[in-house]
Structure 1
Amino acid sequence: MNLPNKLTILRVIMIPFFVLFLLLDGGTNVTYRYIAAAVFIVASFTDMLDGKIARKYGLVTNFGKFMDPLADKLLVCAGLICFTALGQLPAWIVIVIISREFIISGFRLVASDNGVVIAASYWGKFKTVSQMVMSVLLILNIPALSIVTNAFIWIAAVLTVVSLVDYIAKNYRVLMEGSM
């Protein structure tokens, strides 16, 4: 197993620890929140690092193509669900974000069946970064940053919808051809 795949597995292993520290003591313990933030940031960093290493050294594998985006979705969605449980994030935003991920995953499945690989767009990358920043801000839950946190919640929600529309607009032919 190569290094990028090990980093992806490490990210998946870190998710339960992230959730544990975020939810310990009902999410009220600042120390646990800082630990959760550190785990989330390290896990997010492995997401960036494994892709860079895989592309730079030609270590792209089918396992990595499948597990890397799945690990990313699991990390972000775990956080979103926790934030809703902690009363920090409205459920409708979580539903929009998770729905987008299911729709895109379905699109990729249809494209894959047609032998087409659909690369992530810049809108998708912006969406991911905004969701990661939003998540860190929500984990830290610093009252003085509440305006910034709320701004990032809206930025992440808007970029989620924009990236979905962009993705569908650029790739609708794949779906139409797959249904014939």
Structure 2
Amino acid sequence: MVPRARVANVANALTAFRMLLVPVFLVVMFVGDGHETYWRTVAFIIFAVAVITDHFDGALARSYGMVTEFGTLADPIADKALIGSALVGLSVLGDLPWWVTVLILVREVAVTVLRLVVLRRGVIPASRGGKLKTLVQAVAIGLFVMPLSGAWLTTAWVIMLVAVVLTVVTGVDYFVSAFRDWRARPARQG
């Protein structure tokens, strides 16, 4: 029998901490008129800390046998809550066009629903492209949260456009892979 990891572990604590940072991040980002340099810098720091915890919770869980059902469920929820709230917040403030936010969120919801639909036939693991997409999205969003101007803002836009392209390409890839796997594998009995 394989020993089960305890739910109360460092990896899950980091995931829970990231979930708690989401509302704090949003409140800080909207202090004043939402464009005060000091508060946007603080919001960026909170966002960066949350993104960094995403890397460490998964690495710790896999390396030290701390993978739990809670972590498997809570980690992607925390990720989507952080990215989604940042995108919506930036669009509400007028710093990011709504089409970018909607496109990214529709892809995230569609892939999540797809994963749930095909769960009986097996888990669709995160691809390298999906992991790269997440990293590029986090960098782009972080740059938009920072109070930047001039060449830095241009850089933020270039990275955001790369994130949008990766979002579309990896979304299509997930659907193609799921369809291929759906046809190749019988449903698991459970």
Task: Report the TM-score range of the alignment, normalised by the length of the smaller protein.
Answer: over 0.9
Q: Distance in 1 between matches of 2:181 and 2:117?
A: 7
SS of alignment partner, residue 129 of structure 2: helix
Q: Deviation digits for residues 102-136 of structure 1, max 9, x if unmatched? A: 1111111122233x111101111111011101111
- Normalised by the length of structure 1, the TM-score is 0.94
Consecutive unaligned residues of structure 1, counting only runs of 5 or more, are none
Q: Distance in 1 between matches of 2:147 and 2:140?
A: 10
| 1:21 correspondence with 2:28 | yes
- Normalised by the length of structure 2, the TM-score is 0.89
SS of alignment partner, residue 32 of structure 2: helix
Segments of 4+ moved more than 4 angstroms = 174-178
Q: 1:150 corresponds to which letter in structure 2?
A: W
Q: Distance in 1 between matches of 2:11 and 2:124?
A: 20
SS of alignment partner, residue 143 of structure 1: coil
| 1:56 correspondence with 2:89 | no
Q: Is the 8 A contact 1:81 1:94 kept in 2?
A: yes
Q: Deviation digits for residues 70-99 of structure 1, max 9, x if unmatched? A: 100000000000010111111111111001
| 1:148 correspondence with 2:146 | no
Q: Distance in 2 between matches of 1:59 and 1:111?
A: 25
Q: Distance in 2 between matches of 1:23 and 1:175?
A: 44
SS of alignment partner, residue 59 of structure 1: coil
Question: How many residue pairs were aligned?
Answer: 177
Higher share of residues assigned helix: 1
Tell me which of 132, 135, 153 is aligned to 2:138. Answer: 132
Q: Deviation digits for residues 113-165 of structure 1, max 9, x if unmatched? A: 33x11110111111101110111110113103111011012111111001101
Q: 2:110 corresponds to which letter in structure 1?
A: I
Q: Distance in 1 between matches of 2:73 and 2:157?
A: 32
Tell me which of 1, 9, 24 is aligned to 1:2. Answer: 9
Q: 1:102 corresponds to which letter in structure 2?
A: V
2:124 counterpart residue number: 118
**RMSD of aligned alpha carbons:** 1.3
Q: Is the 8 A contact 2:29 2:40 kept in 1?
A: yes
Q: Is the 8 A contact 1:21 1:33 kept in 2?
A: yes
1:37 counterpart residue number: 44
1:88 counterpart residue number: 95
Q: Distance in 1 between matches of 2:33 and 2:135?
A: 27
SS of alignment partner, residue 27 of structure 1: coil
Q: Distance in 2 between matches of 1:128 and 1:99?
A: 15
Consecutive unaligned residues of structure 2, counting only runs of 5 or more, are 1-7
